[in-house]
Structure 1
Amino acid sequence: MDRLTTLMERFQLSVRAAGPGEANLIALADPSGEPVRLLYSSCDDAPAQPHDRVMWAARVDWSGCCNPLIAALPGLVDYDIADKPEARNLLRLMRDEADAQRCGAQSVINRLGEVLMVRLLRHQIREGATEPGLLAGLSDPRLSRAIVAMHDHPGRLWSNADLAEVAGLSLSRFAEVFAAEVGETPIGYLRRWRLILAHQDLSRGDRVDAVARRYAYNSPEGFSRAFRKAYGVAPMSLRMAAA
């Protein structure tokens, strides 16, 4: 079971070198100049850091608040990479590409940045989350099965009973644990995930009725009401803006 691939594929990631005031990804170095610590701010504010220890700084843009992974992260992720040679090598390569400015450098930095963010997210999932949210749910091996099923098959007519079976829990226990770990009901999370995907599809110009069917809404009217409530704009308006 892959807890991250669908999420990674759905949200475009861009990484570029940035000054300390703009950067939200900061690599700190030890006295020898080797990267040993990574700070990532999921908020707009740049993380505070000792300027003489910055090995490299970058700006990561990853679909902002629409990305449930970003919304689930703590305001500041502090990732110790002193004993993680792969992560340290990624940072060296990203810095070298940014400094050399060879052809294709930005594409390379984006690809390496995606690998680095996957490693950071894996670390967060392994560590678990202290606050309810998506990461806490993905950290639970039972709940993660149900969450991945919703991510991978958002158009299926899921019921709480179906999801509880996927998780291997009784219906009452599943509902209780999901609400405690994720902070909302399973069907509430599913609805929110469907609307996030619908927003992406409409932004590409997909038809409203097709998007409604894709995400298991009984009618375009019902979908439009739910979408307007979530985003404050009619889905047709968003589609027309994308045209």
Structure 2
Amino acid sequence: MDRLTTLVERFHLSVRPAPLGRANLIACAKDGATPERVVFFARATEPRSCAEAVLFAASVDWAGASNPLLASLPDKVELDLRPHPETAALVGLMHHEAVANRCGAQSVINRLGEALMVRLLRDQIERGSTEAGLLAGMADPRLSRAIVSMHDHPGRLWTNADLAQIAGLSLSRFCELFAGVVGETPMGYLRRWRLILARQDVMNGDRIERVAHRYAYASPESFTRAFRKAYGTAPSRLRPAPSSSL
């Protein structure tokens, strides 16, 4: 079961070298050369620095608050690289690309940065979370099966019973556990996930009728009502204007 691929593919991830003051991803090196830990600031709540030398600093843009996994992360996430020599090597390569600044360096850094963020998120999922949210749900081996199913097939006509069966739990236990760990009901999370994806599709120019059908709304009107309630505006207002031909 892959808990991250859909999230990585649906939310554009950009990693670019940045001055420390504007960076939210920092690689720290104790001796000034060997990567020792990576710090990711999911939200700007404190000075972005580390006690060791800063080996590499970057700005990570991953769709901000609209990305449910990013929104569920702690304000500050750390990954100790000492038990992970392959990830330390990845950071070292990012540093080398940034310093050398050869042609194509930004593309290489972005791809390596995506791999680094996936490794950092894997570590967070494996650790779990004491706070209710998507991260805690994905750390639970039972709930994560249901969450991944919703992520991968958002247009399916899911019921709580379907998801409970996937999780291997009774219906009542699944609903209770999901609400306690994730902080919302399964159907509430599914509705929010569908609207997040629908908003992306609308902003990419998809037709309202097609988006409504894609995410299992009974009609374009019911989709518009749900969208307006969530985002305060009609989806049609977010569609890009058609380009005029000369």
Sort the TM-score into its range (normalised by shorter chain).
over 0.9
* Structure 1 residue 204, shift from structure 2 partner: 0.6
* Structure 1 residue 44, shift from structure 2 partner: 3.6
Q: Which amino acid aligns with 2:48?
A: A
Tell me the equivalent position of 1:157: 157
1:132 maps onto 2:119 in alignment: no
Q: d(CA) in 1 for partners of 2:166 and 2:130?
A: 24
> For structure 1, which runs of at least 5 residues remain unmatched after alignment?
none
| TM-score (normalised: structure 2) | 0.95
Structure 1 residues 230 and 93 mapped into 2: Cα distance closer, same or farther (>3 Å)? same
Structure 1 residues 30 and 122 mapped into 2: Cα distance closer, same or farther (>3 Å)? same
Q: d(CA) in 1 for partners of 2:241 and 2:64?
A: 20
* Structure 1 residue 155, shift from structure 2 partner: 0.2
Q: Is the 8 A contact 1:21 1:46 kept in 2?
A: no
> For structure 2, which runs of at least 5 residues remain unmatched after alignment?
none
Structural mapping, 1:94-243, within 5 Å:
94-241=94-241
Deviation string, structure 1 residues 168-195 (Cα, Å, up to 9, x no partner): 1000000000001100000000000000
CA RMSD of aligned residues (A): 1.4
The secondary structure found in structure 2 opposite 1:157 is coil
Q: Is the 8 A contact 2:24 2:48 kept in 1?
A: no
Tell me the equivalent position of 2:75: 75
Q: Is the 8 A contact 2:32 2:54 kept in 1?
A: no
Q: d(CA) in 1 for partners of 2:32 and 2:16?
A: 24
Deviation string, structure 1 residues 39-97 (Cα, Å, up to 9, x no partner): 10111456532476111110000011111111010000021112211111111111111
1:2 maps onto 2:19 in alignment: no
Q: d(CA) in 2 for partners of 1:171 and 1:137?
A: 17
Q: Percent identity?
A: 64
Query: How many residues align structurally?
Result: 243
Structural mapping, 1:12-51, within 5 Å:
12-31=12-31, 33-45=33-45, 47-50=47-50
Q: Which amino acid aligns with 2:43?
A: C
Q: Which amino acid aligns with 2:157?
A: L
* Structure 1 residue 18, shift from structure 2 partner: 0.7
| TM-score (normalised: structure 1) | 0.96
The secondary structure found in structure 1 opposite 2:169 is coil
1:61 maps onto 2:45 in alignment: no
